[in-house]
Structure 1
């Protein structure tokens, strides 16, 4: 499976998960955000993340990714993946959007890959994340997958430990809830 296909597959999985327990009474961080105007509004099962411009929401999801990176606690390097914009299912693409941020973490020593995943598994719940899935996938490589939601940050994360990859890495995708642009503006797609 190509990296792009993997990102799209992960985004589809997170479409269902980022909204499991999200509420509409607070927005994700970032300037320009404010609470959603209609309580209980969902987009194809995805809860509202509030009102924001695409750029401010992108900055907020980068901050979420940065917080996750800090929890790894293993020396290594993160890829330079930039956030992108995707449509909220069943909503006007010029008014509603989600942010997805795919990136990878490469430990300095491949032996530290397991420690990086265990650190995330232990630390995410202490930082407001609810782990909704953890364990090996059905691939030949039996990659370990961790999926978690954060109601406060209106985000979900899908993490895959790819031990047999060359080089070994953690593949991460952070996905936001569904944002609405401020009145009079349109979604900036990037």
Structure 2
């Protein structure tokens, strides 16, 4: 049975996107350490999970890129949840429009490796509410955006347990949490 891992780059003030959906600040900290971490995570992944907006960003970027990460992104099974997309044409992508919780629970049972959820703050909120995220893996960027899309859109408290914290030379800190028992 696979686990669902939320993996995101977040500003120190809690945003996954800046104003007007700006993610250009991600490039400020991309480098060898994050690339090596990403490559290591490829071996853990049996699939990717996206909401519509993140899917459209990724599908618009990765097909024209080259390299180990691009090859992975373009071949790994991708699962997209949307109420408005009519189709998802990126290679190896399956579109779902129905019950998110039941579908993700089924995917977790069927996929042996971890499933990574990128971006997709609205989708993440619904999955958090249903207790379906097994690990929160966040790269905190030492940057204050002052506005944008918050990573967490919860209506309640949620207690987490720190399982790992690792600083990188560029000031990013990778934190990993699971649900507290």
By relative contact order (CA 8 Å, sep 6+), the higher-ranking structure is: 2
Q: How does the TM-score come out when normalised to structure 2?
A: 0.26
Going by fraction, where is helix more abundant, 1 or 2? 2
Q: How does the TM-score come out when normalised to structure 1?
A: 0.25
